[in-house]
Every structure is written in structure tokens, then in C-alpha cells.
Amino acid sequence: MRSRQLKIRHKIILWITSVGLIVTMFFAGYTLHESIELSYEIMDEDLKSDVQEDLKSLEMEPHGRIAEVFDTLLDFDESHWIKVFDDQMNLVYSSTLSGTADIPFEEGDSGYNYQIQLPRPAGDDGRQPLTVVRVNVFDIQIGDRSYKIQIAKDIKRLEKEVDELVSIVVVGFLLASVLLIVLSYFLTGKILEPIININRLTGEISATRLNRRIPLGKSKDEIYILSQSLNSMFDRLQQAFDMQKQFTADAAHELKTPITMLHLFMDQSLARQDLPQDYIRQLLSQMDILRRMRRMVKQLLDLSALDLKEHLQLEVFELSSMLHQVLEDFDIVFSSRNISLETGIPPGYPYRGDRDKLSRMFINLIDNAVKYNQDGGKIVVKLAEKNGWACISVWNSGPGIPDEDLPHVFDTFFRVDKSRSKTYGGSGLGLAIVKSIVQLHRGTVSMESQAGHWCLVTVHLPLNQ
Amino acid sequence: MKILIVDDEPEIIHQLKNALECQLYMVDTALDGEEALDKIFDNAYDLILLDIMLPKVDGLTLLSEIRKGNITTPVLMLTARDSVEDKIKGLDSGADDYLAKPFSIAELMARTRSILRRISENRATLLTVGDIALDTVSRKITVKETPVDMTLKEFSIFEFLIYNKGRVVSRFDLAEHVWGNDFDPFSMSNFIDVHIKNIRKKLGDDNHIRTVRGIGFIIDREQ
């Protein structure tokens, strides 16, 4: 059950995180793209304004040698690559940097990037490195002639800024992912909390008390509806169970009167001493069958009384003395079958519970340990305290229980060996009664066994109730 | 000794009547609560065997009615319900003992004798058979006035046999009586023989316990 909860949690984390990351990625990409565009636009603006600012005065003086004019006017040509063409596309002016290479014209309003070799000090390898430049083209009108100015600028600094921007975005993205995972982890916990609660309560209810219900929350949300549906399911389940139990109880009860009549009749017949022997023998085996039936009816009634009423006659008594008392009664049984008894029962262990029922529980356990044991075998009874639980264990050297039967040993009418059951004389109800009694005391009972070697039944009873 | 049996099942009444009459009791019967009330107020009984579930007037009501009418006749409750609460309710209403169905006649005899003995003041607490005397109060057994040391189980087996004097008592009934309902009488009845052997040894040759082959044991009524 637990692993399934975690799985859903992981799934939700995965979903939230991946959706979150996709959105973040989209947003980061968009922002990155826009900021790069923006910085290029700013650069274009800068280039344009630089040139236009400087060439403003040119409109006043249309004559003279145009190249010199440009030379004086565009005095930032150390850092800029500039070429000026007239309307016939003749080169009119070129800056110092622009001597080296041509940059093709490109259509469009905005600037564009181009890789070019600039006359720069050579790198360590003696080669001129390629430099990316931003190119802008303007038309200007000087007098009646129009010129095309191609101006480019090294964008190394801008590229560096863009790199920084990218790394900031990547780091931000990683941080966002971590944040998303952590947040979604807690968020999922928060979302699943009511469901996990319901899951736990449901487990508790079906395992122990069918009469308990899931408390309904204040807000009528989906959880409320789920709890409601589960509760109504429990109602119907409990009803069905109760009906079944009531039926068993009623049926067993109705059998009592006819059994009593038969019993009394046979008792009377057996008390007569004038009957022929073979007739007596027949009567005796009939009596045996009737007694078996009688015992089964009684146990069925006990079981349904335990299930239906759940009434305990609580008193405080010492578990150790209860165990000793029962074991004393079994003395003769042990010695007749040569079974050796080993006990580890320290004195004391005050316990608040139903003494009669618990001693019946223990009787059934010992009875089983004797019945399903070899002659000359061994039984070990121990009482101990562990973390606030009294722990009664009964070990026997009997043939043990096959693994596949272990989960069913506490079921009503379950018997490991159908063919041998008659020689053991059990009704198949003994361990079911044990389980009911232990559960009424809010304890647990379990059986371990190694088939062919041993069998161990352990009862845990809570000491502080 | 006059006993009234109140039960709505004629067959049960018939069997109980038979069994009790064999033990030389006088038996009267009633099939419902009203009939029982009439008979109880008209006759003096020594013991009433009363079923709880009865037509017209139920057993518990009937019981409190007769106790209100200052009738102190001992009452042995017979009932199909045997939970602790029912037992307590029955005893609170004034019943002297309580027997859950189905019960054996041996158990009924023992309870009947025990009640009759307990309430009658002029009777001794001693039960005797031959030279053997059993004191039901001090729970001691003597043979020719020499005390015999017996375990609790041995005592209650012998007591049960004496209460059923003249009746064969089966191992099963003995086991059920000695170990109670919680033990499996099928496994326990095997151990009755061990106990009987020990009892015989302690009581000596003249122990009056006779084995009835295949069935159980009997202490014969003295001629």
C-alpha cells in the first residue's frame, strides 16, 4: 500500500516539474531571444545616431572633396568599419579598418551580423582571427547626390554580454528546476495528505473495527465525497457481516434445543444397564458424533458472541498466574503423551482484560500445541514484555504447518490436514476463537512455522490501554 | 423431594422427568410461564428447573414474580443462552444456579443434588458411600475416618460420581465437569482414567467405583 502512495507522489512530482520546466524553458528562451534582439536594436540605434549626428553639418556644405569631408567628419573610424558609396556604387570613402575586406549588402531595414578579418594584431598562432561585426547601411542625401554609408562595429563586447545573459538564464533555469522539484514534493505531500489519511483509516477500519467510520471534513470537496462513499460502503459491508454473523448465531442457537433433546435421550438410554453390548456400542458412537456437534455449536455461538457483542468483563489480573493455572490443568495431558514443557514465565505482568476469555484463548493455544505434536515432543511457553506489549509465545515441536496454509490457520473451519482432522478431534474453530479474543483486546496473533519441524504462535497484547 | 420442570419443549420435559424419576424424585411439569406460576403458588416444591425462554411469561419475569411472592424455593435456570451477562442476570433475579443447554443429565443431577444439599439446613454436609465420607463444605474425604489427601480434580471427579450415585457417568461428562467448557472434552476425557486410577489407589480396595465398559464409571446405590 505504501509503495503505491509513493508512486503517485512521484508521478505528481514528475508532472508538476516537467510542466513547470517546459513553461520556464519557454519563458527563458523568449526572454533571452528578446533581450538579444533588444541589444542589437540598441546597437543599431547607436550606430545610426552616431553617423547621423556627425553628418548633420554636411547638408550645409555640399561641395568640396567628399572623401576628406567624410574623413574629418567620421573621426571615430579607429573603432568603426566605414565605407561610403555614391549612387553609382563607387567607393567614395573607406576608413582605416575597412581597407581589408568587403562586406556584402543585405536587404532589410535592420542591421545584420557578418564575420570578417580585421587588421588586428595577430593571435598567438600568427593568424588573423575572424571577428563578428554588426553592419548597418544608411542612405544620406548631400545636396542633390545620394550616398550609401556602410558602417560596421566589432560586437565582441555585446557577444560577451549575450554569453553572460545566457549563462544567467541557464543558472536561473537550473535553480527554478530544483525549486520546482522541492516545492512540488511538499505540494504533493499536502495534496495527498487527506488521501493518505483516508487510506490509513480505511486500512484500520477493515482490519480491526468495521463499526468505525472516516471522519468527514468541513468543506464538501472531493475528499468529503470520497469519505462519504467509503463510509456508506462500510455501512453496507458491516450490515452484510452482521447479518452473516447473526445468521450463524441464530442457526447455532436453534440447533441447541434439538441437540439437548437428543443428548438427554441418549444419556437416558446409556444409563440403562440392561441393553445388549452391541447396541450400547452403537449408542456410544452416536453419542460421540452428537458431542462433536454439540461442541461445534457451542464454539460457533462463542465465536459469534465474541464477534457481535464485543463485551469484555474487564479485571486486573496477572498474566503469569493465568498461564500457570492453565498449564497446571494440562499437566496430565503433557505427561500422558510424554511431551516435555519448558516455560519462561517471569512472575507478575498485571494486565487489564477479560480473564476468562484470555484463559480460554491460552487453553486453545496449548490444546493445539498438544494435538499437533508428536509423542515425546516439546512445548515452550514464554511470556515477555516488548515496547509496551505483553508477548505470549507458544512453540511446539510438532510437524508444523506448510507455508501455503499459514495465512488461513486463523480462519473458521480451516484445518491443515483434512484427512487427519478427525483423529485430532478439532472443530476447526479453536484458532478462530483465539483470534477473536485477541482482537477484542486490541492485540495481534501470528503464526510462524517450518513445515516438518516446528510451529510458533505469538500473541501480542497491549499493556497500556 | 418434589421438583417442578418448566420448559416449553415437551420432549425435553419428558426426558428430564424420566431421568429425575429414576433418581426417585417426584416430578411435576409446566409448559409455559402462566402454568408454572399457578403451580408454584399452589404447591410446595423443593426445586424448580426453569427455562428462561418461555411462552406467556418468560423465565426471568417468572423468577422475580415468585421471589416477590416470598417463595424461596431454589431455582436452577436452564437456558440456551450462556453468555456471562445472561448468567449474571439470571443469578441476580434470584436463581440459585445456572445450566446452559445442551447439558448432560449427569451434570444436571450433580447440580440438583448440590443445590438441594446446600439449601437444606437440617441435612448434613456429608455424602457417604460405604466407609467413604465426602464433606462438601470443607472439601475433605475420609475413609473410615482417616483423611485421604486428594487433588482438586480428583475430589471433583469423586464428588460428581457420588452426586450421580446409581447412574453411569461417561468420561466425557466427567471431563466436561472437571475441566469446564473451555477445554476440549474429547482430548480431556482420555485423562479421566488416569485420575480414576489415582482415586482408587487413594481410597483403597473398597472404593465403590465400578467401571462400565466403553461408557464410564458408576458408584452403585447401596442395597
A287 touches chain B (CB under 8 A): yes
Q: Say how many CA atoms lie within 13 Å of A119 toward its Cβ.
A: 11
Q: Residues of A with CB below 8 A from B85's CB?
A: 311
Cβ burial of B68 (10 Å; 0-12, 13-18, 19+) is: exposed
pLDDT of residue A99: 63
Statement: residue B94 has pLDDT above 50: yes
A425 touches chain B (CB under 8 A): yes
ipTM of this predicted structure: 0.77
Q: Cell match 414474580: residue? A: B65
Q: What is the pLDDT of residues B29-48, one digit of tens each?
A: 999 889 999 999 888 898 99
Size of interface A-B (CB pairs under 8 A): 102
Residue B215 to residue A336, Cβ atoms within 8 A? no
Residue A264 to residue B191, Cβ atoms within 8 A? no
- A151 contacts A47 by C-beta, under 8 angstroms: yes
pLDDT of residue B121: 61
Q: Residues of A with CB below 8 A from B184's CB?
A: 295, 367, 425-426, 430
A269 touches chain B (CB under 8 A): no
Residue A264 to residue B215, Cβ atoms within 8 A? no
Q: Cell match 406467556: residue? A: B56
- Comparing C-alpha atoms, which of B97, B115, B98 is closest to residue B163? B115
Q: Which DSSP string corresponds to A132-151? A: EEEEEEEEEEETTEEEEEEE
**pLDDT beneath 50, residues of chain A:** 1-3, 122-123
> How many angstroms away from the CA of B216 is the closest CA of chain A?
10
Statement: residue B49 has pLDDT above 80: yes
- B30 contacts B5 by C-beta, under 8 angstroms: yes
User: Residue B153 and residue B192: Cα distance in Å, rounded?
Assistant: 10
pLDDT of residue A114: 77
pLDDT of residue A125: 56
Tell which of B54, B104, B112 to mutate to test the A interface (max A CBs under 10 Å).
B104
Q: Supply A287's cell numbers.
A: 453419542
CA dihedral A11, A13, A18, A23 (to 10 degrees): 140
A256 touches chain B (CB under 8 A): yes
Q: Cell match 457481535: residue? A: A308
Q: Residues of B with CB below 8 A from A333's CB?
A: 187-188, 191
Q: What is the pLDDT of residues B192-216, one digit of tens each?
A: 888 899 999 998 888 889 998 878 8
